[in-house]
């Protein structure tokens, strides 16, 4: 390869990478219809039952889904963390966990524990009213 060809390859790579980052960026809010395996207007219990399936459609094969849990006095010894600390937990979303999720109107999930790859489900009057998806593969300065 000549110097000119090598320079062209470097220039193409230099411009393609930002294009790739821009194309893979997602920041959208859905307030009606269906998105990411969830239907606006669905009850919390139905949304909870769909979590595993919906996340399997969003994530790649090795990705893991986390949510933030505030440690209370009943968990602090088991988790070796003082109460009122927030920890990231991976869940399998079994039926026994629904009660804790039902208490909240904002469910925020982190793909691979990253704040740069999230999905947030908001509930109004016990029904799903907003789905917000955010993904960026880069950190802005």
In this predicted structure, what is the pLDDT of residue 75? 86
Has residue 140 got a pLDDT over 70? no
Mean pLDDT of 98-126: 95
Q: How far apart are CA 69 and CA 4, in angstroms?
A: 55
DSSP assignment string, 4-26: HHHHHHHHHHHHHHHHHHHHH-E
pLDDT class of 77 with cuts at 50, 70, 90: confident
């Amino acid at each position: 390869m000549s110097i000119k060809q090598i320079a062209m390859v470097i220039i193409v790579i230099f411009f393609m990478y930002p294009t790739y980052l821009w194309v893979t960026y997602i920041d959208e809010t859905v307030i009606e219809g269906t998105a990411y395996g969830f239907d606006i207007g669905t009850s919390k219990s139905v949304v909870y039952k769909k979590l595993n399936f919906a996340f399997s459609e969003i994530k790649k094969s090795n990705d893991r889904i986390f949510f933030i849990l505030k440690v209370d006095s009943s968990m602090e010894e088991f988790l070796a963390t003082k109460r009122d600390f927030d920890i990231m937990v991976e869940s399998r979303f079994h039926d026994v966990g629904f009660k804790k999720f039902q208490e909240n109107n904002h469910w925020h999930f982190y793909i691979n524990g990253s704040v740069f790859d999230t999905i947030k489900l908001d509930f109004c009057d016990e029904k799903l009213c907003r789905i917000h998806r955010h993904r960026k593969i880069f950190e802005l300065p």
